[in-house]
Each structure stands twice: as C-alpha cells, then as structure tokens.
Structure 1
Amino acid sequence: MKKVLLMSFIMFLIVSVFVLPVQARTAFEIRGSDTQVNLTANLAEVFMEMNKDAVISVTGGGSGTGIAAIINNQVSLANSSREISAAELAQAQERGVEPVRIVIALDGLSVIVNEDNPLEELTVDQIGAIFRGEITNWAELGGNDQEISLYGRQSNSGTYVFFREYVVKADYSEDKMRMNGNAQIVEGVLNDKSAIGYVGVGYTAEDGKVRDGLKIVKVAKDADSPYVTPLDPTNVADGSYPVARPLHHYSNGLPEGMVREYIEFVLSEEGQQVAVDSGFYPITEEYREINRKNLAW
C-alpha cells in the first residue's frame, strides 16, 4: 500500500512539474503565405525566446489558405502576401468574423533567371508579355535563342494573385509551371538555363549574397523609367521598384492577450530587424499609419 502511495506521489510531482506549466502556456497558430513562412517562423522564434509562456505554430499553404482559415476562425492570425478580397471580406462578415489588416514587412518581389541568361533588365510590360505567353523565346528580347520556361505559383498563392494583377494583367500562359512554393521556383530556375520565375526577395539570397546560379533581373516601370533592383531597400521603400508589395497578418478583430503582445513585437524596432535579417524590409511610415488606424493604437 505504501508503495502504491509513493508511486502516486511521484506521478503527481511529474504531472505538476511537466504538464501544468505546458497547460499554462498560451498557444496560437499563424497560417498562410508561403512567402512569409520563414519570416514568420523567425519572428515567432525570437518572440518565444522572449516569452517562455508563448507557443506559436507557423504553417504555410498559401495566402488563400491562411485567409480561409481566419474566415473560418481556425487560427489566430493569417499570413497573406496580398490584401483580402472584397468577396473574402463579405464571406468573413457573414460568419461574424472581422478581419483586421496588419502590415508586418515589405517585399521586393523578385524576377529571377538562371545566371547563364545574358539579360540583365526587363520592363514590367515585357515580363507581363512573357508570362502571358506572348513572348516565348529569349531571342525576342535580345537574349539566347532558347524557348522560355515559365515558373510560378499555384492559384491559392497570394504571390500568384499579386503578380497576375500587377504584372501579367491577364491570365497566365497555360505553359507556366505551377510550383508549391518559392523554394521550388528557385530550384527550378537554378536547374533550367531558359527559366524565368518570381519569388519573394527573401528567397533570393544566402548570407546577404545572391545565390550562386541565380540572377535577379532589374525591372523598370516602362521603357522610359530607370531599371532598378529589389536588393536595395530604398528602391522598395520609395516605390521606384515597381513590383514591391506589403506583407500582412490578418486577425479576427483587434488582437488581444498574447497575440497582441506578439503583434507589438513584430511592429517594434526589434521585430522589424528580424524582417531585415530574414531578407525582407521594414515597413514605411505610410504602413505604420495604416496599422495604427486598423489596430486603434
């Protein structure tokens, strides 16, 4: 009997030490944009190091997946590399969900080719014509006599939607390969000398240098504008790089509790430095004002 009581006491101690602290911790999930997965994982990691009682799960699946999850009230935050659409907003409101837009970083969406491609620069119109399937050989642009291979995202991707609306401005060519994520596009371009693709700027570099085998194309708004690189933060911040975009979290109503603390960290100087260290750029005063308004801070 004493042995049974002793074992019960030991089990109580084990439960008290190991289980109860876990139960007392605050867990929440962030789901969505593939472009933002690494960025958000880095932000979550630093925040959890600062807040030992926080447990944050970060998963991808695309911006559409994240927005659907916040509409269905399945997650605390959605990652999205595009703004929520009017139809999605209406659907959310029908379900009693009030999506709140929070801009967390800026991305210079990068057009990439294999380093063996001699082309250095393209206009937005030329890139759009390529992805519409109107320009099919690099020789038409002064490059090698090679049929162009198109690498892009699947339709649930916010990057897919953003690039279609702001660059392609029509339907994509049926010849475009639809990849699951940015990393797959990069690998495809690295292994295909005739390839062109588009990825978040944070996926183009390693240790601050453009990945070996990859070339980032300089882009101009039109033939009369300067060709600029997304690797310069100033070009993204002042809008001279024409394919820049904000990256978002969406919450259901105003964030509260640990989620609010996490958002405060993300928008702090330290959180914005994590964005820079992850290969992206800090938000400008324009987006800070949008956040202050949306968060009622």
Structure 2
Amino acid sequence: MKIRAYTTLALAVSMAGLASCGNSSDTTLSTPTSGNTNISVDESFQPILESQVDTFEGIYERANIDAAYKPEGEVVKELINDSTRIAILSRELTPEEVATIEKNKRIPRTTRIAVDAVALITNPNNPDSLLTLDEVKDIFNGRVKNWNKLEEDTKLGDITIVFDNNNSSTARYVRDSLTTDKKLPQNTFAANSHQALIDYVAQNENALGVIGVNWISDLDDSTAVSFLNKIKVVGISKDPAPLTTESFYQPYQAYIAQQAYPLRRYLYVISTEGRTGLGTGFASFLGGDQGQRIFLKSGLVPATMPVRVVGLRN
C-alpha cells in the first residue's frame, strides 16, 4: 500500500510539473498545426492579420490562435516579458531588446513577411491632396502649420495632425523617418483608434491623418471601402519640384512594390518560441505560399512573391 501511494503521488507531481512547463504562448500539446497559442500584433495590421488567423484556423481545425491587437510599444514589451512568443511588428528588434530576450535564454528569430506603407489622408473637402516629400517633412517638423503655406488660394486654416495612438508604429515611423529631432510638432493629436481617426478626418477639413495602408488597401473588405468613401488619400512625390501630377504616387500596391511611393515600411514576424509549436507553424504559414497570397490580395506587397505590374496604353 505504501508503494502504491508513493507511485500515485509521484505520478501526480510529474503531471503537475508537465503542466507548469507550458506558458501563455507555448503549451505542452502544441504542434505546428494544432493546440493553443497567443500572438501579439501591432494594431496597424489588424485587418490583414485577422484574415490570416481566420484562414489558418479554417485549414487547421485543431489550431486556436488568440491574437491581441495593441500599439507597437505594448507588443514589444509583451515579447520581452515573455507574455507572448510570437509578435507581428513593422520593425526589427533593437540590439538592446535582443540582448534582453537572450539574457532570459530565448532566441528571437525575425522573418520579413510583407512590405507595407504609411498613408496620409485628408478631408474630402481639402483641395490639396498632392504633397511633395519635402512638404510632408516640413509639416511633421513643424515648419508648415497652415494649409495656406502649401496652397495660397485655400480657405483652410491650421493643420491638425492625427495619429491612431501616441505609442503606435505609425507615430514611431514618422518620428524616425520624417523628423530631424525625433519629435512630433505641437499640432499633433491621437484619436485612440483607427475608426476614430477616420471619423475625425472625415469631419474636420483641416485634419491630416496618418494611418497604416492596410486599413484602406483591401477593396474586397467592406470596412476598408467604407473608410475610403469618407476620406481622400494623399499622393506624394519624391521630386521637390514636380512638373506634372504624374510624379505623385498614392500607396497602391504596384507603387509600393516599385518603390515609387516613398513612405514604405516592412512587416515582420518575430518568434521566441523554444521549440516547433503552433506559433512557429503560424509564422511559417505567414511566410509561405498561402500566407503570401493573402498579403497580395489585401493590397500589401508580399515579401517572397513577385507582384505583377500591368502597364496600360491608350
């Protein structure tokens, strides 16, 4: 009886130990196509990642992916704190962030999965929907604060710059790529959601919105179409003195692929999963043929699949 009791206790302790080995994103029963995992996603990419998750779970019925859509800073924090082991971001980790993760005996693996862009949007009543890249930089550096500095005949007033979130990847992109001192001007505000950003621009003639193109690129998505019906998308020219409107490009897929549209950025999946679990399987799906086709359909540029550009002649 004593031997039997000891065996039962040892078995219970062993099972408890196995259960404790799992964490929120890497369970003991997880395989590349089954089990449960959580991922943390930059909310700029919510529309496309929702489509990717739905498709993956539709193919692999035993897979359950819990995706949390958050500002970029929170996504990075969760990856570093091991609250998640799969993150979708528009930037790679810094050397300091990599060192912190490796200090905790985890190895981050980064894969580029798509090319994205940052779009500028204005109110439909704003006649100035074409800006040079130099004018864009002047706006974000605070050198141009009124629409009449760009168009003398306009009746519009002071420019109001609107982001989705102060901690968003679009705000970070603008600071890093378009400003000289890594600071945003005083006339910058946060709408706290993409829907609120779109609504604000649609209702305010002086607004200039900054949004991930993924929210307005998929013309098969009714939400994206409804957003486009409320606003105008700005065309940007890299030429400081363009002679024709043909020098201006909107963030369409072909122009992103050709690098004609200047406000481009990459999309990455970063994994710290210690073994081949469901998170690793989903990351492989995103970089594989099916995931890349979904990026292509959404209006982004897939990282490993060529985009066919068709030229039309009159």
TM-score interval w.r.t. the shorter chain? 0.7 to 0.9
Alignment-derived partner of residue 212 in structure 1: 229
CA distance in 1, matches of 2:236, 2:130: 6
Look up the equivalent residue of 2:184 and give its one-letter code.
Y
CA distance in 2, matches of 1:55, 1:140: 52
Alignment-derived partner of residue 17 in structure 1: none
Alignment-derived partner of residue 206 in structure 2: 194
CA distance in 2, matches of 1:285, 1:253: 26
CA distance in 2, matches of 1:183, 1:247: 22
Whether 2:69 is the aligned partner of 1:52: answer no
Look up the equivalent residue of 2:185 and give its one-letter code.
S
Alignment-derived partner of residue 236 in structure 1: 256
Alignment-derived partner of residue 42 in structure 2: 33
Q: SS of 2:115's equivalent?
A: strand
Q: Are the structure 2 counterparts of residues 254 and 239 from structure 1 closer, same or farther at C-alpha, using a change threshold of 3 Å?
A: farther
Q: Identify the range of structure 1 (61-70 vs 218-227) with the bigger mean alpha-carbon deviation.
A: 218-227
What is the Cα deviation at residue 180 of structure 1? 2.4
Alignment-derived partner of residue 281 in structure 1: 301
Alignment-derived partner of residue 292 in structure 2: 272
Q: Are the structure 2 counterparts of residues 27 and 174 from structure 1 closer, same or farther at C-alpha, using a change threshold of 3 Å?
A: same
Per-residue displacement from partner, 1:91-138 (whole Å, max 9, x unpaired)? 222333322212222212111111110012112221122123221111
State how 1:96-245 maps to structure 2 within 5 Å. Answer: 96-142=105-151, 143-170=154-181, 171-204=183-216, 207=219, 209=225, 211-224=228-241, 226-231=247-252, 233-245=253-265
Q: SS of 2:210's equivalent?
A: strand
What is the Cα deviation at residue 285 of structure 1? 6.5
What is the Cα deviation at residue 211 of structure 1? 1.2
Per-residue displacement from partner, 1:10-38 (whole Å, max 9, x unpaired)? xxxxxxxxxxxxx8851111113111122
What is the Cα deviation at residue 223 of structure 1? 0.8
Unaligned residue ranges in structure 1 (runs of 5+): 1-22, 287-297
Q: How does the TM-score come out when normalised to structure 1?
A: 0.80
Q: SS of 1:174's equivalent?
A: coil
- Identity across matched positions, percent: 23
Q: Are the structure 2 counterparts of residues 242 and 34 from structure 1 closer, same or farther at C-alpha, using a change threshold of 3 Å?
A: same
CA distance in 1, matches of 2:210, 2:282: 30
Q: Identify the range of structure 1 (35-44 vs 272-281) with the bigger mean alpha-carbon deviation.
A: 272-281
Per-residue displacement from partner, 1:138-180 (whole Å, max 9, x unpaired)? 1110143311111014342222111211123331012210232
Q: Are the structure 2 counterparts of residues 235 and 284 from structure 1 closer, same or farther at C-alpha, using a change threshold of 3 Å?
A: farther
Q: SS of 1:92's equivalent?
A: helix
CA distance in 1, matches of 2:169, 2:94: 11
Q: Identify the range of structure 1 (250-259 vs 140-149) with the bigger mean alpha-carbon deviation.
A: 250-259
What is the Cα deviation at residue 238 of structure 1? 2.3
What is the Cα deviation at residue 251 of structure 1? 0.7
Q: SS of 1:109's equivalent?
A: strand
What is the Cα deviation at residue 252 of structure 1? 0.7
Structure 1 contact 35–181 (Cα < 8 Å) conserved = no
CA distance in 1, matches of 2:266, 2:78: 20
Q: Identify the range of structure 1 (250-259 vs 158-167) with the bigger mean alpha-carbon deviation.
A: 250-259
Alignment-derived partner of residue 6 in structure 1: none
Q: Are the structure 2 counterparts of residues 165 and 259 from structure 1 closer, same or farther at C-alpha, using a change threshold of 3 Å?
A: same
Q: Are the structure 2 counterparts of residues 92 and 224 from structure 1 closer, same or farther at C-alpha, using a change threshold of 3 Å?
A: farther
CA distance in 1, matches of 2:304, 2:248: 22
Q: Are the structure 2 counterparts of residues 184 and 105 from structure 1 closer, same or farther at C-alpha, using a change threshold of 3 Å?
A: farther
What is the Cα deviation at residue 281 of structure 1? 2.5
CA distance in 1, matches of 2:187, 2:139: 11
Structure 1 contact 32–64 (Cα < 8 Å) conserved = no
Look up the equivalent residue of 1:186 and give its one-letter code.
I
